Amino acid sequence: MKFTTQKQVRFHHCDPAGIVFYPQFFYLLHEVQEDFLNHIGFPEHVLIAGGAGVPIVDLKTEFLGMCRHGDQLTMTLELTKVGNASVGMHYEIHGEPTTRGGSSLRVRAHGVVVYSEVPHGKPVPIPDGLRNALLPYLKTSPETA
Amino acid sequence: MKFTTQKQVRFHHCDPAGIVFYPQFFYLLHEVQEDFLNHIGFPEHVLIAGGAGVPIVDLKTEFLGMCRHGDQLTMTLELTKVGNASVGMHYEIHGEPTTRGGSSLRVRAHGVVVYSEVPHGKPVPIPDGLRNALLPYLKTSPETA
Amino acid sequence: MKFTTQKQVRFHHCDPAGIVFYPQFFYLLHEVQEDFLNHIGFPEHVLIAGGAGVPIVDLKTEFLGMCRHGDQLTMTLELTKVGNASVGMHYEIHGEPTTRGGSSLRVRAHGVVVYSEVPHGKPVPIPDGLRNALLPYLKTSPETA
Amino acid sequence: MKFTTQKQVRFHHCDPAGIVFYPQFFYLLHEVQEDFLNHIGFPEHVLIAGGAGVPIVDLKTEFLGMCRHGDQLTMTLELTKVGNASVGMHYEIHGEPTTRGGSSLRVRAHGVVVYSEVPHGKPVPIPDGLRNALLPYLKTSPETA
């Protein structure tokens, strides 16, 4: 199962070239993570209030096309791994298809986050409730990221 | 040759866990790129005014340790490739060594940027003047990123 | 008539004290302005593509209460003036009422933006179509900001 | 006495019109506050670690001219009040004088911050050591903000 959400490119995402400045994509990806955690019933602010966080340890990103102010983005999240403490996250950001039939894929990213206690950041096993909520989003096909 | 610059972790870089929120590292890396381009005599705002930019197409990042508000960071940049239009950039962010003798390395990132005309983003060959200014920072040892 | 929209406080809005870092409120206010311009049929990216912008020249803000990660915010916009080129904008950000019966009002802001040509920023008269779309949101009661 | 610091307009401060997006000025003002607190020997991260913060309660800003990528800014801070718990802060941001002899003043802001315990934000009296470090920066002339 794939989690999907829509976002609009905001003025503040864009740089003097009129396109999304690349660090802003990571704010958008983190918003997708927040939306996802809300959706599966484990809001990030509740996790944090309970003494846990999901810091990122590894991130690979390909920037495949430009996004501009006002663009409607479709953002997807699938999990590539649900380990003892770590979770692999595969994100795609799609814009509108180009008029010349080009791909809509703008950004592809693969991150690894680690379920950790706050504030020291020591990894701890993912609790069963959260694990069960994550598992439906685990990709069953071979990872392509 | 390695380009080195110092930055302090600012309040606005930090999240509710009191550590740098990871997208903020990319603002810091981009500031290093700006400082580097200033240093070699090709300020980014002059490049852009002249109709060129250096958008990023690929980025791999490892987050190896936490950075906190007030930390003094030493940031380095070396080039791993100076191609026809693309440049490989290897960044390291070091904090202070831990009291228990741990490594000071907090973030390691490898990005590829492409010299391109603005606003359409079509790659164009790096002009000789810029190329000659970049070459002293090309790593001669095998890339380890 | 009052324009109203809902936003959630995001992780990236919050600082090491766990509350919204104040400059982030201005990103939220600008998002409200974007939502409003979309709603009345004059999206900001279309205005800009057409050579106009609405830079801010004056801003007064009172910060009346703290907003935390996960809070649901209700944000309102009313206009206090629709002049030849300038528009007065009165914003309120409400959180949830406190358990002790306190006010829900967290931020009150009054900004003045000027309809201007891009890129030189010279004020120009607001076109009639936009003016007519703005007027229903003009406060008729005495300005209290 | 006036506290003065220099900053360069960064790529990430700028919007699709090529000028500083106004919320970014508040990040710059907060950096000036951090630089000032470092300078007088009370770094903000040390205050926070000690259970105190200086949240802002009121802010008035005039945006008087545009700042562009690469501009060198001179930023000044003077205090307009050092009360029991509150401090009035008068900021100015100057760019380079225009070629036509115009003023260099780009932004003028007046903020009020309140010395408060963290995390509940209750105002507490400014400790004597900090008060004594602040007083040399109190404007003796009539406030003009």
Judged against a pLDDT cut of 70, whether residue D33 lies above it is answered with yes
Q: Is B18 on the interface with C (CB under 8 A)?
A: yes
Closest CA–CA distance from residue D94 to any residue of chain C (Å): 16
Judged against a pLDDT cut of 50, whether residue B2 lies above it is answered with yes
| Each residue's pLDDT tens digit, B4-59 | 999 999 999 999 888 999 999 999 999 999 999 999 999 999 998 899 999 999 99
Rounded to an integer, what distance in angstroms lies between the CA atom of residue B91 and that of residue B119? 27
Judged against a pLDDT cut of 90, whether residue D91 lies above it is answered with yes
Over the range B84-123, which residues count as b (16 or more CB within 10 Å of their CB) and which as e?
eebbbbbbbbbbeeeeeeeeeebbbbbbbbbbbebeeeee
Residue D90, number of CB atoms within 10 A of its CB: 20
Judged against a pLDDT cut of 80, whether residue B142 lies above it is answered with no
Closest CA–CA distance from residue C42 to any residue of chain D (Å): 17
The predicted model gives D24-53 an average pLDDT of 95
Q: Is B96 on the interface with A (CB under 8 A)?
A: no
More confident residue, D92 or A18: D92
Q: Is C69 on the interface with B (CB under 8 A)?
A: yes
Q: Is B11 on the interface with C (CB under 8 A)?
A: yes
The predicted model gives D94-105 an average pLDDT of 80
DSSP letter at A13?
G
| Each residue's pLDDT tens digit, C5-61 | 999 999 999 998 889 999 999 999 999 999 999 999 999 999 988 999 999 999 999
More confident residue, B19 or C98: B19
Instruction: Report chain C residues whose CB lies below 8 A from the CB of D17.
Output: 48, 53, 55, 118-119
DSSP H or E stretch at residue A77 = strand A72-82
| AA identity, residue D31 | E
Confidence (pLDDT) at B141: 65
Confidence of residue A141 (pLDDT cuts 50, 70, 90): low
Cβ contact (<8 Å) for D45 and B10?
no
Q: Is C6 on the interface with A (CB under 8 A)?
A: no
Rounded to an integer, what distance in angstroms lies between the CA atom of residue A110 and that of residue B63? 14
* pTM reported for the whole predicted model: 0.93
Rounded to an integer, what distance in angstroms lies between the CA atom of residue D57 and that of residue C64? 7
* Tokens read off for B28: 């810091």
Nearest CB to D34; choose among B10, B30, B34: B10
Instruction: Report chain A residues whose CB lies below 8 A from the CB of B56.
Output: 22, 63
Closest CA–CA distance from residue C77 to any residue of chain D (Å): 18
Cβ contact (<8 Å) for C70 and A44?
yes
The predicted model gives C93-102 an average pLDDT of 79
Q: Is C11 on the interface with A (CB under 8 A)?
A: yes
D57 to chain C: closest CA residue: C63
Least confident of A4-18, A68-82, A119-133, B87-101: B87-101
Nearest CB to A11; choose among C10, C44, C46: C44
Angle, CA of C63, C64 and C67, to the nearest 5°: 80
Cβ contact (<8 Å) for B11 and C16?
yes
Rounded to an integer, what distance in angstroms lies between the CA atom of residue B31 and that of residue D10? 7
Confidence (pLDDT) at B14: 95
Whether D48 contacts D72, CB under 8 Å: no
D28 to chain C: closest CA residue: C23
Closest CA–CA distance from residue D36 to any residue of chain A (Å): 28
Instruction: Report chain B residues whose CB lies below 8 A from the CB of C21.
Output: 11-12
Nearest CB to C69; choose among A10, A11, A45: A45
Instruction: Report chain A residues whose CB lies below 8 A from the CB of D18.
Output: 16
Rounded to an integer, what distance in angstroms lies between the CA atom of residue D133 and that of residue D88? 15
* Tokens read off for B73: 């960071």
Nearest CB to B21; choose among C12, C17, C18: C12
B117 to chain A: closest CA residue: A17
Q: Three-class SS of residue D97? A: coil
Instruction: Report chain B residues whose CB lies below 8 A from the CB of D28.
Output: none
Q: Three-class SS of residue B1? A: coil
Confidence (pLDDT) at A145: 44
* Tokens read off for B125: 């060959």
Confidence (pLDDT) at A144: 47
Quote the ipTM score: 0.91
Judged against a pLDDT cut of 50, whether residue A105 lies above it is answered with yes
Q: Is D57 on the interface with C (CB under 8 A)?
A: yes
Closest CA–CA distance from residue D10 to any residue of chain A (Å): 11
Question: Percent of chain A scored above 90 by pLDDT?
Answer: 84
